[in-house]
Amino acid sequence: MTLIGINVGGTTTSVVVGGADATIRARRSWPTRSERGPRDFIDAIVTATNELCAAPDAIGLSIGGPLDVQRGVLIDPPHLPGLGGFAVRNALAARFSAPVVMHHDAAACALAEWRWGANAGAGGIVYLTCGTGFGCGLVLDGHVRYGSDGRSPEIGHVRYRDDGPEIFNKPGCYEGYGSAKALALLARWRDPVHFANAQPEAIVALAAAGDPVASEAVLMNQRAVGSACALLADLLALDVIVLGSLATYLGEPWIAAVRDVFRAEVLPANAARCSVRGPSLDAVQDLGALAAAVEAATPAGGQPG
């Protein structure tokens, strides 16, 4: 069986060919450039897919939200300008004679971790993207869970503090503190002159060199992510919380700092049952798209609600 996984990020889109055993046989990637509109967006995916496999058995699509998975529609995603209201799943299905399952990117990563990761089969897994955005994906008892009408959960929009960088026209939300881009936003918020054009990578380097503003930005980021983990574990009684891009980029010292905040804030019983860690899978974003394709290929597949 040949499966196609399509992973759409705000910066990069990738297509992989693989199997249900988590093997990736080939891969293509390119800048997303969603601002060019739906036609160019789909044409680029179709071209790359046909280069790899002209007749896949099933297709999985992992894409950032907000989205409505029941209708397969993007709902004004802030990191994919030009695609608001686009029925992306139907557009793909019209170009291929194969079933298509679409998942929020965080949910797809959670599904990959549940299927193939270090805690495969765990009852409750959350994946926090900690990347361009601060997305949340939830797998309970082997099924991706969404809200009413298939709406993706958007923890990044939840208010964390009364002040801070403004995202979604809302200062103090979790995305403004917990995402990778928040490192630069927090430094700029504290010192708008010296950090006017700073990028997250520069903040990490400056923090390592002892810069006080950059160090404070990293600390605020760690505290926010730890707080979000405690909120989710207390709300959902989880077994595992997997931290995405920042955990991979900054490694165990950052994860340990997040874990310390989590343990200080969460109920003791939930601290004992829930582990907080980085991804156990290499290329987890691509494997998330492939996990969605596995779901599409199963007899009971199709889009979850």
CATH assignment at residue 139: 3.30.420.40
Give yes or no: residues 22 and 94 share one domain: yes
Give yes or no: residues 216 and 134 share one domain: yes
Give yes or no: residues 181 and 245 share one domain: yes
In a domain, 58, yes or no: yes
Give yes or no: residues 124 and 269 share one domain: yes
What are the helix and strand counts (H, E) for the chain?
A: 11, 14
Give yes or no: residues 199 and 271 share one domain: yes
Give yes or no: residues 56 and 180 share one domain: no
Give yes or no: residues 133 and 217 share one domain: yes
In a domain, 302, yes or no: no
In a domain, 235, yes or no: yes
In a domain, 303, yes or no: no
Give yes or no: residues 229 and 266 share one domain: yes
In a domain, 304, yes or no: no
Give yes or no: residues 128 and 193 share one domain: yes
Q: What is the pLDDT along the chain (305 residues), one digit of tens a residue?
A: 899 999 999 889 999 999 999 999 999 999 999 999 999 999 999 999 999 997 899 999 999 988 999 999 999 888 899 999 999 999 999 999 899 999 999 999 999 999 999 999 999 999 999 998 899 999 999 999 999 888 888 999 999 999 999 988 899 999 999 999 999 999 999 999 999 999 999 999 999 999 999 999 999 999 999 999 999 999 999 999 999 999 999 999 999 999 999 999 999 999 999 999 999 999 999 999 999 999 999 865 444 43
Give yes or no: residues 82 and 24 share one domain: yes
**Domains of the chain: total:** 2
Give yes or no: residues 172 and 287 share one domain: no
Give yes or no: residues 184 and 271 share one domain: yes
In a domain, 305, yes or no: no
Q: What beta strand segments (E) does the chain contain?
A: 3-8, 12-18, 24-31, 58-63, 67-68, 73-74, 100-104, 124-128, 136-140, 143-144, 166-167, 170-171, 240-243, 275-277
pTM given for the model = 0.93
User: What domain range includes position 171?
Assistant: 120-277
Report d(CA 305, CA 148) in Å as an integer.
8
